[in-house]
Amino acid sequence: MSTVLSARSVTIEAATGAGPVKLVHDVNLDIREGEILGLIGESGSGKTTAARAIVGLLERNVRVSSGEIALRGKTISSPEVDDFRNVRGSEIGMVFQSASMSLNPLMKVGKQLKEVVRRHQRHLSRQQITERLDQVLRQMGFTDPARVLASFPHQLSGGMRQRVSIALAVVTNPAVVIADECTSALDVTTQAEVVQLLRSLTTDSRTAMLFVTHDLMLAQDLCSRIAVMYAGQIIETGDAREVVSNPRHPYTRALLAAIPTWGEEEIQGIEGSPPRVAADWQGCRFAPRCPVARDECTRTRIGWTPTGTRSGARCLIVEEEEPESSGSMLDHV
Amino acid sequence: MIRLILSKTANAVLTLLIASSLAFFLARGSGSPVREILGDSATPEQVAQLTAELGLDKPLIVQYGQFLLDLVSFDLGDSLRYGQSNLELIAGRLPASIELALFALLLAVAVGVPLGIIAAMREGGVVDRIASMLALLGQSVPLFWLGLMLILLFAVRLGWFPAGQNDGIDSLVLPAVTLSTLPMAQIARLTRSSMSEVLHEGFISAARARGLAGWRIILIHAFRPASLPVVTIVGLQAGMLLSGAVTVEYVFAWPGLGSLATQAVQTRDFPLVQSIVVFGALVFVLINLAVDLLYGLVDPRIREDA
Ligand SMILES: Nc1ncnc2c1ncn2[C@@H]1O[C@H](COP(=O)(O)OP(=O)(O)OP(=O)(O)O)[C@@H](O)[C@H]1O
Ligand SMILES: [Mg+2]
C-alpha cells in the first residue's frame, strides 16, 4: 500500500492584527490508499485549517510557514510551493460540513457535476460524461439519477444534498478525499447512510480519505487510523481501535472519559478550556488542564514519542513509559 | 409564477394610486395657477370665470374624484400653457428622454459592474480603493456643476462635443456621461458589496476546491447570485433617469421630460405637472414589476415560493 498524501512538519500561521499566530504546529500525517484517517479534536483545534491547507483553500491571511504537503511524493504546498492547479478537484476532492456550503443554489445538480468533469476530463465525449454522472450518482445511492440531475439543490433533502456534494468531490476519481465534518449536520439515520457511502468509496475505489470530526466514536467506527489534535498540534496517532481502547495521551483519555455511555451516572468533562491561538509557547499545551501534569511539562519542549510503527504521542509521560524511545523528533508516520 | 405576477400587479396598482393622489394634492396645494395665466391686470370677473372653467371652484373631494375617473379612462387632461393634451406633450418629449436615459444607464452598467466585480475580488486592493473613491465622488458631486465643467472642458475649450440641444449622437455624450455618474457610483458600490458577500460563501470555496477556472467562479458562480440586488437598482435607476433627469436636461437644454417638467412647474401648469408625475410613477411601477419577475427567472427558489 502506497502513501498517497503526506504532511511533513507542517506549520500554518495566520497574520492577525496582533502579529502572526500559529494555527497548526508541526503536523505530520500520512494517508495510504484505501485508508481513512480520522482527524479528531475540539472546536478550534485547527482541524479545518489543516484540511483546507491540503486543498489549498487557506484564507488570504493564512499560510503554510514551514514543512510541506505532498501528494504521491510530489510537493503541492510548502512555504515556497503553491501548486494546486493540477490536483484540486482532480486528484484531491473535498466535502464540506453542509451541502449548503458546497452546492451553488442557483445551478442544477447536473450542471454542477458536468462542469467539474468537463474541467478535468476534457477527453470525455458528451455521451461518456452522461454515463459517468449516472454512474457516480448510482454509486452515491440514488436510484433515479436523471431526476437528481435535473433538480436544483433546494429541491433535494439534506441527506441527498450531502450525497450530491460527495458525488461532486469524487466524480473525477480523486486519489484523496478530504471530508470536513461532512456528517455533523445530518440526523443519525442519514449520517449512517453517508458513513456507509464513504466506507464503500474507500474499499471499492481505494480512495484515501481524511475524515475530520469531533466524534471519537464515529471515527473509531469508520476510520482505519486516528490522529488527535489539540490546540494546533497532533498529540496522538495510532490505529483507530488501539487509540480508543488503549489511549496513551492524557488528553485522549480525557476525551474518552467525556463521552456519555449508557448507564453511566455522570460524564467527566475536561476542566478548563483549550488555550487560545498563540505566536509561540513552551511545553505541553494541554498541561494546564492535564490531571497528571508535572512541573517540567510546562517547561521543556515536548518531543514526539513513537509507540509503534505508525503510532505515537506527544507527552513526557508516554516518553518515560516507552523504554526504547529517547523522546526523539521522529516522524509519527 | 401566476400567483407571483398577480400579487405583484396588485401591488403596482396600489403604488400607482398613491403616487397619483400625492401628485394631485401637491399640485393643488401649491396655489392657484389662474393669476399666473391671466397676469396681474386681470379683473376679478375674469379670475372667477377661469377658476370655474378649470373646475377649481368645486370642493377638493369632487375634483379628486373627477381626477381619478379621468385617470382610469387614461385621460390626463390638457396643459394650461400649451393648450395641448398632456399625453401628447409627454409622448413628444419621451423619445429624447429614453435616448438619454438608456445611454446613461448603459454607460453606468458597463463601467459600474466590472469595477464593482474587480474591487470585490481584491478587497482593499488598488482597484478597490480607486473604485470606492470614484463612487464617493460620483455620489457627492452636484450634477449641475459636473455638467457645466464638462461643457467648459469638452465643448468650449476642446470643442469635441456640442454643449447642448439634441442633434446627433455627439450631443448625447456629455449629458449621458453627466447623468450616468450617480447610477454608476451606486451600481459599482452595490456590485462590490454584493459580490464580496457571495465570494465569502461556502459554495465559492467549494467551487475553488473543485479546481474550476477563476473566471468561471467569478462570472458564473458568484456574479449570478450577486446580480440580483444589482438588477433591482438598475431597474429603479431606469425609472429615475427616465422621468427625473431634470437637472441634466436643464443644463444641457435637452428637450426631454425633465425640461418639460421644469417648465411646467415654473408656469404652474398643474395638470401637466400632475401628468408627468403620474407618468413617472407608471414607468417606475412597470419597471419594478419587470424587475420582480426577472428575479424569479434568475433565482429558482423565488419562482417556487411565491
Ligand atoms: N483566517 C484566520 N485568521 C486568524 N485565525 C484563524 C483564521 N482561521 C481560523 N483561525 C483560528 O484558528 C483556530 C483553528 O480554527 P479551525 O477552524 O481550524 O478549527 P476546527 O478544529 O476546525 O474547529 P471546529 O471544530 O469548530 O470546526 C481557531 O482558533 C480560529 O479562530
Ligand atoms: Mg472546523
Please write the tens of the pLDDT for every residue from B82-129: 888 888 888 888 888 888 999 999 999 999 999 999 999 988 888 899
Could you count the other beta carbons within 10 Å of the beta carbon of residue A73? 9
Cβ proximity of B183 and B112 under 8 Å: yes
Q: Which residues of A200-235 are buried (b: 16+ CB within 10 A; e: fewer)?
A: ebbeebebbbbbbbbbbebbbebbbbbbbbbbbbbb
CA-wise closest residue to A35 among A207, A198, A205: A207
Q: Hey, whose CA ends up nearest to atom 30 of ligand 1? A: A44
Q: Which three cell numbers stand for residue A135?
A: 454512474
Nearest-CA distance A95 → chain B (Å): 8
Q: Which three cell numbers stand for residue B248?
A: 441634466
Q: Among A55, A229, A230, A277, which is best to mutate for testing ligand 1, by the most ligand atoms less than 8 A from CB?
A: A277
Q: Which three cell numbers stand for residue A225?
A: 487510523
Please give the distance, rounded to the nearest whole angstrom, from the Cα atom of residue A107 to the centre of ligand 2.
26
CA dihedral B235, B236, B240, B241 (to 10 degrees): -30
Q: Nearest-CA residue of chain B relative to A104?
A: B203
Is B129 part of any domain? yes
Number of the ligand closest to the Cα of A62: 1
- The one-character DSSP state at A264 is -
Please give the distance, rounded to the nearest whole angstrom, from the Cα atom of residue A43 to the centre of ligand 2.
7
Is B32 part of any domain? no
The answer, yes or no, to whether any atom of ligand 1 lies below 6 A from the CB of A48, is: yes
Q: What separation in angstroms does the CA of B91 have from each of A33, B67, B99, B167, B239?
A: 75, 20, 13, 19, 16
Provide the domain limits for residue B193. Answer: 93-305
Sign of CA dihedral B169, B167, B179, B226: negative
Considering only CB atoms, B300 lies closest to which of A101, A106, A165, namely: A106
Is B2 part of any domain? no
Mutate which of B210, B215, B294, B304 to test chain A, going by most A C-beta atoms within 10 A?
B210
Is B13 part of any domain? no
CATH number at residue B164: 1.10.3720.10
Q: Which residues of chain B neighbour A57 with C-beta distances below 8 Å?
A: 205, 208-209
**All residues at 6 or more sequence positions from B204 whose CB lies less than 8 Å from its CB, including other chains:** B198, B217, B221, B222
**All residues at 6 or more sequence positions from B61 whose CB lies less than 8 Å from its CB, including other chains:** none
pTM of the predicted model as reported, rounded to 2 decimal places: 0.81
Q: Is A17 on the interface with B (CB under 8 A)?
A: no
Please give the distance, rounded to the nearest whole angstrom, from the Cα atom of residue B172 to the centre of ligand 2.
56
Q: Which amino acid does the sequence have at B58?
A: K
Q: Which three cell numbers stand for residue B106?
A: 448603459
What is the spatial order of strands in the sheet that A62-71 belongs to? A19-32, A3-16, A62-71, A74-77
Beta bridge partners of A94: A178
**All residues at 6 or more sequence positions from B111 whose CB lies less than 8 Å from its CB, including other chains:** B180, B184, B188
Cβ contact, residue pair A116, B301, below 8 Å? no
- The one-character DSSP state at A88 is B
Q: Which atom of ligand 1 is nearest to the CA of A42?
A: 25
Helix (H, G, I), strand (E, B) or coil at A42: coil
Is B206 part of any domain? yes
Cβ contact, residue pair B210, A119, below 8 Å? yes
Cβ proximity of B3 and B11 under 8 Å: no
Query: Given 3-state DSSP classes, what are the helix, strand and coil percentages for chain A, each rounded to the nearest 5?
Result: 35, 25, 40
Q: Which residues of chain A neighbour B207 with C-beta distances below 8 Å?
A: 104
Is B68 part of any domain? no
The answer, yes or no, to whether any atom of ligand 1 lies below 6 A from the CB of A274, is: no
Q: Chain B residues contacting A, CB < 8 Å?
A: 201-203, 205-213, 216, 221, 224-225, 298-301
How many structural domains comprise chain B?
A: 1
Is B4 part of any domain? no
Please give the distance, rounded to the nearest whole angstrom, from the Cα atom of residue A227 to the centre of ligand 2.
15
Per-residue pLDDT of chain A (333 residues; tens, 9 = 90+): 689 999 999 999 999 988 999 999 999 999 999 999 999 999 999 999 999 999 999 998 999 999 999 999 999 999 988 888 889 999 999 999 887 788 999 999 999 999 999 999 999 999 999 999 999 999 999 999 999 999 999 999 988 999 999 999 999 999 999 999 988 888 888 888 889 999 998 998 899 999 999 899 899 999 999 999 999 999 999 999 999 999 999 999 999 988 777 666 666 777 788 888 888 888 899 999 999 989 899 988 899 999 988 999 999 999 888 876 554 544 454
Is B180 part of any domain? yes
| pLDDT over 90 percentage in chain B | 22
Q: Which three cell numbers stand for residue A280?
A: 509561540
Could you count the other beta carbons within 10 Å of the beta carbon of residue B6? 11
